[in-house]
Amino acid sequence: MLDHWFPKNISTYGGEIDSVFYLIFYIVGIGFLLGEAAIFYFLIRYRRRDGKKAAFVNGERWSQAAWIIIPTAIVLVLDLWIDFAGAQAYDAIKGEMPVSETIVQVTGKQFNWIINYPGPDGIFGTEDDLTKENDLYVPVNKAVKTILKSEDVIHSFFVPVLRLKQDMVPGRTIEAWFEATETGKYEIACAELCGYGHYTMRGFLHILSEEDYAAWVSENWPDTNSESN
Amino acid sequence: MSGATTVSEYQATHTVPGRMGIWWFLASEIMVFGGFLAIYILYRMASGGAWAEMANHVSAPIGTFNTIILLTSSLTMVKAFEAIDNEKRKQATNFLLITVILGLAFLGVKAFEYSSEIALGFTPLSGTFWAFYYALTGLHGLHIVAGVIFNASLLVMAMKGTLWPNTQHRVEYAGLYWHFVDIVWIFLFPLLYLSY
Amino acid sequence: MTEQKNAENGHSEELSFWRKYVFSTDHKVVGKQYLFIALFMAILGGVMAYYMRWQLAWPETAVPGAGWIPEPTAFGGIIPPEFYNALTTMHGTIMVFFVGMPFLLGAFGNFLLPLMIGAKDMAFPRLNMMSVWTLFLASLVMIASFFVEGGAASAGWTGYAPLSADPIHTGVTWGLNLWILGLALEFTSFLMGGINFLTTTITMRAPGMTMYRLPLMVWMQITAAVIFMLSVGPLIAGAILLLLDRTVGTGFFIPELGGDPLLWQHLFWFFGHPEVYVVLLPGFGAIMEILPVFSRKPIFAYKTIIWSTIIAGALSFLVWAHHMFVSGMDPRLAMPFSITTILISVPFAVVIFAFMATLWGGSIRFTTPMLFALGTVMTFIVGGATGIFNGSAPVDIFIHDTHFVVAHFHFTLFPDVFLGGFAALYFWFPKMFGRMMNETLGKIHFWVTTIAFNAVFIPMFVLGLGGSMRRVYNPLQYDFLKPMQGINEFITYAAIVLLLGQFIFMFNFFWSMFKGKKAERNPWNATTLEWSVSYPIPHDNFATIPTVYHGPYEYSLPGNKSDWQPQHEENEPVSG
Q: What is the pLDDT of residue B1?
A: 33
Residue C108 lies in a domain: yes
Q: What is the pLDDT of residue C186?
A: 97
Residue C187 lies in a domain: yes
Task: Give residue C215's pLDDT band: very low, low, confident or very high (50, 70, 90).
Answer: very high
Q: What is the pLDDT of residue C64?
A: 95
CATH 1.10.287 fits A2-94, yes or no: yes
Task: Give residue C575's pLDDT band: very low, low, confident or very high (50, 70, 90).
Answer: low
Q: What is the pLDDT of residue C574?
A: 61
The chain C residue lying nearest A59, using CA atoms, is C301
A39 close to C (CB below 8 A): yes
CA distance B162 to B149: 17
Chains that touch A (3 or more CB pairs under 8 A): C
Asked if the model's pLDDT at residue B120 lies above 80, the reply is: yes
Taking an 8 Å cut-off on Cβ atoms, the answer to whether B35 and C229 are in contact is no
Q: What is the pLDDT of residue B9?
A: 43
Residue C430 lies in a domain: yes
Tell me whether the omega of the peptide bond preceding residue A71 falls within 30 degrees of 0, making it cis.
Answer: no
Tell which residue, C425, C428, C399, has the closest CA to residue C522. Answer: C428
Termini Cα distance of chain A: 59
Evaluate whether ipTM surpasses 0.90: yes
Which of C392, C465, C478 lies at the smallest CB-CB distance from A24? C392
Give mean pLDDT, residues B81-91.
Answer: 92
- Which residues in B lie closer than 8 A to residue C203 (C-beta atoms)? 7, 11-13, 15-17, 20
The chain B residue lying nearest C211, using CA atoms, is B12
Distance of CA A166 to the CA centre of its chain: 8
Q: What is the pLDDT of residue B53?
A: 85
The chain A residue lying nearest C402, using CA atoms, is A191
The predicted-structure confidence for A72-108, as pLDDT tens digits, reads as follows 999 999 999 999 999 999 999 998 889 998 999 999 9
Distance of CA C489 to the CA centre of its chain: 28
C56: left (phi over 0), alpha (psi -120 to 50) or beta: alpha
Taking an 8 Å cut-off on Cβ atoms, the answer to whether C169 and A48 are in contact is no
Taking an 8 Å cut-off on Cβ atoms, the answer to whether C299 and A58 are in contact is yes
Give mean pLDDT, residues B155-174.
Answer: 91
Segments of A29-142 assigned E as strands: 102-109, 112-117, 130-133, 135-139
B45 close to C (CB below 8 A): no
Tell me whether the omega of the peptide bond preceding residue C536 falls within 30 degrees of 0, making it cis.
Answer: yes
**Segments in C204-301 forming alpha helices (H):** 216-247, 261-295
B16 close to C (CB below 8 A): yes
Q: What is the mean pLDDT of chain C?
A: 94
The chain C residue lying nearest A58, using CA atoms, is C300
Give mean pLDDT, residues C139-157.
Answer: 96
Task: Give residue C118's pLDDT band: very low, low, confident or very high (50, 70, 90).
Answer: very high
Asked if the model's pLDDT at residue A225 lies above 60, the reply is: no
A56 close to C (CB below 8 A): yes
Which of B27, B42, B125 lies at the smallest CB-CB distance from C250? B125
Task: Give residue B93's pLDDT band: very low, low, confident or very high (50, 70, 90).
Answer: very high
Give mean pLDDT, residues B174-182.
Answer: 96
- Which residues in C lie closer than 8 A to residue B127 (C-beta atoms)? 258
- Which residues in B lie closer than 8 A to residue C195 (C-beta atoms)? 21, 24-25, 28
How close is the nearest chain A Cα to the Cα of C256, in Å? Answer: 7
**Among A16-25, A216-225, C463-472, C474-483, which is the least confidently predicted range?**
A216-225
How close is the nearest chain C Cα to the Cα of A118, in Å? Answer: 23
The chain B residue lying nearest C1, using CA atoms, is B18
Taking an 8 Å cut-off on Cβ atoms, the answer to whether B13 and C203 are in contact is yes
CATH superfamily of A102-223: Cupredoxins -  blue copper proteins (2.60.40.420)
Task: Give residue C3's pLDDT band: very low, low, confident or very high (50, 70, 90).
Answer: very low
CA distance C282 to C287: 9
Element at A177 (helix H, strand E): strand A174-179
How close is the nearest chain C Cα to the Cα of A3, in Å? Answer: 10
Residue C567 lies in a domain: no
- Which residues in C lie closer than 8 A to residue A134 (C-beta atoms)? none
Which of A32, A57, A93 lies at the smallest CB-CB distance from C361? A57
CATH of B17-193, one of 2.70.98.10, 1.20.120.80, 3.50.50.60, 3.30.70.100: 1.20.120.80
A41 close to C (CB below 8 A): no
Give mean pLDDT, residues A8-35.
Answer: 95
How close is the nearest chain C Cα to the Cα of B97, in Å? Answer: 22
- Which residues in A lie closer than 8 A to residue C478 (C-beta atoms)? 187, 189, 202
Q: Which residues contact A224 (CB under 8 A, 6 or more apart)?
A: A119, A120, A121, A128
How close is the nearest chain B Cα to the Cα of C225, in Å? Answer: 10
Task: Give residue B12's pLDDT band: very low, low, confident or very high (50, 70, 90).
Answer: low
The predicted-structure confidence for C348-406, as pLDDT tens digits, reads as follows 999 999 999 999 999 999 999 999 999 999 999 999 999 999 999 999 999 999 999 99
CA distance C261 to C251: 10
- Which residues in A lie closer than 8 A to residue C74 (C-beta atoms)? none
Residue C513 lies in a domain: yes
Q: What is the pLDDT of residue C561?
A: 85
Residue C191 sits in a domain of what CATH number? Answer: 1.20.210.10
pTM above 0.90, yes or no: yes
Give mean pLDDT, residues A141-169.
Answer: 96
Tell me whether the omega of the peptide bond preceding residue C366 falls within 30 degrees of 0, making it cis.
Answer: no
The chain C residue lying nearest B140, using CA atoms, is C237
Q: What is the pLDDT of residue A229?
A: 37
CA distance C255 to C242: 13
Q: What is the pLDDT of residue C143?
A: 97
Asked if the model's pLDDT at residue C9 lies above 90, the reply is: no
Taking an 8 Å cut-off on Cβ atoms, the answer to whether C338 and A55 are in contact is no
- Angle ∠(C522,C523,C529) on CA atoms, nearest 5: 30
The predicted-structure confidence for C15-61, as pLDDT tens digits, reads as follows 788 888 899 999 999 999 999 999 999 999 999 999 999 999 999 99
Which of C127, C240, C259 lies at the smallest CB-CB distance from B135? C240
Asked if the model's pLDDT at residue B54 lies above 90, the reply is: no
Tell which residue, C111, C106, C131, has the closest CA to residue C121. Answer: C111
Q: What is the pLDDT of residue A2?
A: 58
How close is the nearest chain B Cα to the Cα of C545, in Å? Answer: 7
CA distance A194 to A187: 18
- Which residues in A lie closer than 8 A to residue C302 (C-beta atoms)? 58-60
